[in-house]
Structure 1
Amino acid sequence: MMAHTGEIPYQCSQCDRAFSRNSNFTRHLDAHTRDKPYQCSQYDKAFSQNSGLIKHMRTHTGEKPYQCSQCDKAFSMKTTLIIHQRNHTGEKPYQCCQCDQAFSQNSILIKHMRAHTREKPYQCSQCDKAFSNTSNLKIHMRAHTGENPYQCSQCEKAFSNNCDSL
């Protein structure tokens, strides 16, 4: 029934992922805690399964074995190709149960649902502010660190987020 209603009751407290099935959620939680014997040779990153390392190594090699049949884009992961193909088909399988909006990705639905619930699970470690997604927390943290990674192309001014540099 949850597949039809779009209900996603299992949310990971350590990352942005959420699941409609307890079995998938439990398997995901293992990824945060289990041994990670497959080590990247270029970064301090390790994986619990060899397949995870293989996917990660594509970020270094640039390999993109999954080609879109509708356009010239290619992807390093099959799941990314499937999500991309929804741009061509217009498929939006993830329906909000609070309003009539539908989404091409489950993660976008989860973020959207927080607008209804006003949930802000990502807490700043430096102050009392909380955010509905990790992206906004990351931008906020730059206020504490002084980091301004976005440079204006017209002058020397730098900004903490891309919107300010327009």
Structure 2
Amino acid sequence: MKILAFSDLHMARSRAADLVAASEAADLVPGNAESAEELSDTVPEGVHVLHGSGMELDGLRLFGLGYGVPETPFGEWSCDLSEGAATELLARCVSADVLIVHSPPKGYGDETSMGQSVGSIAVRDAIERIQPGLAVFGHIHDSWGYRGHLGQTQLANLGPTVNWFEVGS
């Protein structure tokens, strides 16, 4: 399956145009936006919001978790979860081929310009437990473009650009 993935578009219209144009060649396009409730209220029929839930598509097991984890200092406009709440939601996932999360795992693609590691322990623990083939995330703008591995899992901090992944048979 050919996946187009991105994060943190933040109203960048020219980047959005690039993503729309690229999406014609994609089988699956994960992204992230506002609260789970806002997404559920606005998505077209047949679209599944992956927030604390999963689905299977053509044999590919997907699981997602939105929001910033841990809580950010950005105020009420930011959708955030505590590490405990994220752990509870991620516990629902027993297996996945692709984990789609907003926040990076602690210690991987989570470094700020000040050198601080601000990723999520809950996300890191879930990746270590589940070992999906691919985990995609964003949130930490200073680490956009990061690629690495955690165990057998390929990691990618996406940013608002076209990122392609081939997953499955």
TM-score w.r.t. the length of structure 1 is: 0.25
> Which has the larger share of helix?
1
Q: Which of these two proteins has the greater Rg computed from alpha carbons?
A: 1
Higher RCO (Cα < 8 Å, 6 or more apart): 2
TM-score w.r.t. the length of structure 2 is: 0.25
